[in-house]
Chain A
Amino acid sequence: MELLCPAGNLASLKAAFNAGADAVYLGLKDDTNARSFAGLNFSAAQIKQASQLAKQQNRKLFLTLNTFAKPGHENRWQQAIDLAAELNLDAVICADISLLDYASRTYPGLALHLSVQASATNVAALSFYKQQFNIERAVLPRVLSVKQVKDLAKISPVDLEVFAFGSLCIMAEGRCQLSSYVTGQSPNTGGSCSPANHVRWQDVGTDKLTRLNEVLIDKSSQDEQLGYPVVCKGRYQTNDEMTPEYMLESPTSLNTISLIPELAQAGIRSLKIEGRQRSPAYVTQVTQVWRQAIDSYRQSPETFENTLKRQPQWHSALNKVSEGQVTTLGAYERQWQ
């Protein structure tokens, strides 16, 4: 089972490799990927450097191209595919069928991973992408229970990658317009969810108000742990219930470390750590813990459960870097749904 880690810059890439990542995914410094934040991501020259580092250390490098090509600007996305082919990167992570089509016709040797933004959650959808574009792997949206993941893994025509740790997107990815409804930008179009230039924190008396394009997402006390403000993690009211409630989800992160045995037995090819926007320190911390956990499962699958109990520091290390310092199994656990 591959440990796939995020990198928003060269420092994070090195941190991931040093801490034991098998593979790293990264994006270009533009709107061709859904973490299009100022100061983040790689120029073409930096990707070349990253690719040399990966080859030296015998690790894999994937280019994230998970937004949808804008009419009139398609060549920006196509050039990113050209770059990946030229540098002989290990895969391109892509959701747009026009790009999958371009890549599979132009570079049949370039591995294609279906991005989570394509929202492929079932064998018929996966088969479509396999037949049409010969994808090698698909990243599953965070909407399936462990049982559903296992059932799908048995019949999937392609390798499967799942989210293991990080910010929890609670919607079928690629089909969520909550961000663009409030800000005009979505991951699909603008390259980010809840863009930072629309976020405003405001102190009013003892309250801290969190606004997204002036819409009040949450009101909290000064000492409460706050997550990054997104529409789905706000506190709202209804006509019959005026006490504010997390109607969709509270600020929390995904942590599936306890699921390693089940995911491994199901034949999941890769475990993905979310967080290209996070610091090199985050990447180091999370990669180290997951490397140890995966290795200890490999060495002794039968005792993993006990190992997990004897390693409370794994949980505390992961909680420390989690949103709201709280973690959940999310949709993997039926009860959550």
Chain B
Amino acid sequence: MNLSLGPLTYCWSKQATFEYYEAVASTDIDTVYLGEVICSRRRELKYKDYLELANLLTNQGKKVILSTLTLIESASELIELKRIVTNGEFAIEANDMAAVNFATEAAIPFVAGPNLNLYNRASLDIMHKKGMTRFIMPYELSKFWLQQVLAGNPTAFETEVLGYGYIPLAHSARCFTAKHHQKPKLDCQIICQQYPKGILTQTQESQPLLRLNGIQTQSAAKINLINQMSAMSAMGVSYFRISPSGLEDIALIEHISNAQMAEQSNLSLEGNIKDCNGYWHAEPGMNLNLNTIT
């Protein structure tokens, strides 16, 4: 099974983003997704910067896929989307049917992102006919769902599963980071840049629950399916996705790249925020199922 690095969901400075991907380039990771998937108001990195990063990573032997915006509301966002889809060099991850539309029009193959709501085999087969080469399993689905969907014909298209990192849970018109700072979205001053891992949100009993990242809401806990990698591989999953959270990812990538070490990996059970793995085991996503630790 290959490792992939999902798109960066946070708004980091251009410098921090370049430093991160320069470090990524030195790892053994197979595939890197690049692009702004959350908010078109974030302009730290522009299209040409992403292409520069893409070339930097490609030169180091990585496969690069350009990710596209998840919530598309305006004509200008569609123009930018079309530019990315028709870039002519790199594959794309479609995170909205608008991207699928542009890709099919131009007969360009695409990776179906986690928010296209492909919840059964028939839907995946329709997308496959339209040019889908791979799909990212919707986050809330389980290994049982995947087994059933891949049964009989696991190789028609590739499957990727989010295996490590904070889980994107929702997208809104409202920017929760700006709201927290009593700013309207139109004058947000890109306040989300102050939160490189989002705003940790806890219940009134100090239970970490969510992470507010601009218009996106994420899980407070990281999903951790490292100890499920051989099971995934046996089911026909071809990519294990890590969602970027910081330079600490680099050590993690190297650790998981060493398959034997990965098998011995333990879940993080200590500290304030425990990992979670509920979705994979068909439980509430926030759950940590300890019975499956091998």
Contacts and interface: CB of A to CB of B under 8 A. Distances in A.
Query: Do A and B form a real pair?
Result: yes
A121 B169 contact: no
Interface in A158-191: 170-172, 174-178, 180-184, 186, 188-189
Contact of B284 (A96, A181, A216, A236): A181
B176 A248 contact: yes
A129 to B, nearest CB: 7
Contact of A238 (B70, B171, B201, B207): B201
Interface stretch (B13-21, B231-239, B275-283): B275-283
A74 B121 CA distance: 10
A334 B186 contact: yes
Contacts of B70: 172, 175
A335 interface: yes
A128 B122 contact: no
Contacts of B282: 184
A216 to B, nearest CB: 4
Q: Is the interface of B mostly helix, strand, loop or mixed?
A: mixed
B97 A124 contact: yes
B74 interface: yes
Interface stretch (B98-106, B247-255, B260-268): B98-106
Interface stretch (A43-51, A80-88, A143-151): A143-151
Contact of A125 (B96, B120, B200): B96
A125 B97 contact: yes
B78 A124 contact: yes
A217 interface: yes
Given A143-B73, A237-B201, A215 B209 contact: yes
A337 B184 contact: yes
Contacts of B101: 124-125, 127-128, 131
Interface stretch (A11-19, A65-73, A255-263, A293-301): A65-73
Contacts of A127: 101
Contact of B145 (A71, A102, A175, A244): A71
B173 A143 contact: yes
B28 interface: no
A4 interface: no
B100 A128 contact: yes
A218 B77 CA distance: 37
Contacts of A330: 173
Given A97-B126, A98-B120, A335-B184, A172 B202 contact: no
B259 interface: no
Contacts of A181: 140, 167, 169, 219, 284-286
B169 A69 contact: no
Contacts of B71: 119, 121, 143, 172, 175
Interface centre among B73, B102, B148, B207 (most CB of A within 10 A): B73
B139 interface: yes
Contacts of B209: 182, 215, 231, 236
Contact of A235 (B73, B141, B204, B283): B204
Contacts of B121: 71
A247 B180 contact: yes
Contact of A122 (B77, B145, B204, B206): B77
Category for how many chain B residues contact A: 35 or more
A239 interface: yes
A275 to B, nearest CB: 21
B199 interface: yes
Interface residues of A, number: 74
A331 interface: yes
A116 to B, nearest CB: 12
A122 B73 contact: yes
Interface in B146-203: 148-149, 167, 169-176, 179-180, 184-186, 199-203
B117 interface: yes
B133 interface: no
A181 B209 CA distance: 9
Contacts of A276: none
Given A117-B117, A182-B284, A71 B148 contact: yes
Given A177-B285, A237-B204, A238-B199, A69 B119 contact: yes
A236 B126 contact: no
Given A143-B73, A216-B207, A238-B199, A98 B123 contact: yes
Given A188-B117, A236-B201, A337-B175, 7 more contacts: A143-B173, A144-B173, A177-B140, A178-B210, A180-B140, A215-B203, A237-B203
Interface of B: 70-75, 77-78, 81, 96-102, 104, 115, 117-123, 126-127, 138-141, 145, 148-149, 167, 169-176, 179-180, 184-186, 199-207, 209-210, 212, 217, 219, 278-279, 282-286
27 contacts: A70-B120, A71-B145, A98-B126, A121-B71, A124-B72, A125-B98, A131-B101, A132-B126, A151-B75, A170-B174, A171-B171, A172-B170, A174-B117, A175-B71, A176-B170, A176-B171, A177-B169, A181-B284, A182-B286, A189-B140, A189-B141, A231-B210, A232-B170, A235-B204, A248-B217, A334-B184, A335-B184
